[in-house]
C-alpha cells in the first residue's frame, strides 16, 4: 500500500491496513517523507507523525520523496545535498529503532533492508 505525507492519504491507508483483516506482516506499507523536510528534526518528526496518523508501529518502507522541495522541483539547480543527507540520517535512526524495515529515496545511493 502506497502513501505519502504529500498525498494526504496516510490516515485512510492506515485505517485500511488496521481493518482489512489481513495480518499486518503480510502487508507491504510504504510512505514518503515530504520533500520539504531537509533537517534531521523535521524529517524525524514527520516520520513519527506518519506512524501516528496511520496508527501503525512500523512501516515496511520509507523513502525521501524528492531531492527538492515541491515548489522548486525542476525549477532550481539546488539539489539540497546537505539537507537530504541529514534527512537520510533521520531515516537511518528510525530504521535502527525498528520503525522502518527498508529505507531509500530519490537521493539514496544505498537501500538498507532489515
- The angle at the Cα of 63, spanning 60 to 69, to the nearest 5 degrees, equals 155
Assess whether 58 carries a catalytic annotation: no
End-to-end CA separation in angstroms for the chain: 19
**List 7, 58, 80, 95, catalytic entry:** 7
**Residue 102: strand, helix, or coil:** strand
The residues annotated with a catalytic role in the active site are 7
Amino acid at each position: 500500500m502506497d502513501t505519502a505525507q504529500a498525498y494526504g492519504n496516510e490516515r485512510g491507508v492506515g485505517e485500511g491496513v488496521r481493518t482489512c483483516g489481513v495480518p499486518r506482516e503480510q502487508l507491504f506499507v510504504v510512505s514518503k517523507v515530504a520533500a520539504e523536510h531537509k533537517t534531521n528534526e523535521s524529517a524525524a518528526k514527520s516520520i513519527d507523525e506518519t506512524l501516528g496518523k496511520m496508527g501503525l508501529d512500523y512501516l515496511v518502507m520509507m523513502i525521501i520523496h524528492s531531492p527538492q522541495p515541491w515548489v522548486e522541483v525542476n525549477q532550481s539547480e539546488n539539489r539540497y545535498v546537505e539537507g537530504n543527507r541529514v534527512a537520510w540520517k533521520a531515516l537511518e535512526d528510525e530504521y535502527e529503532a525498528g520503525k522502518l524495515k527498508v529505507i531509500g529515496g530519490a537521493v539514496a545511493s544505498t537501500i538498507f533492508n532489515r
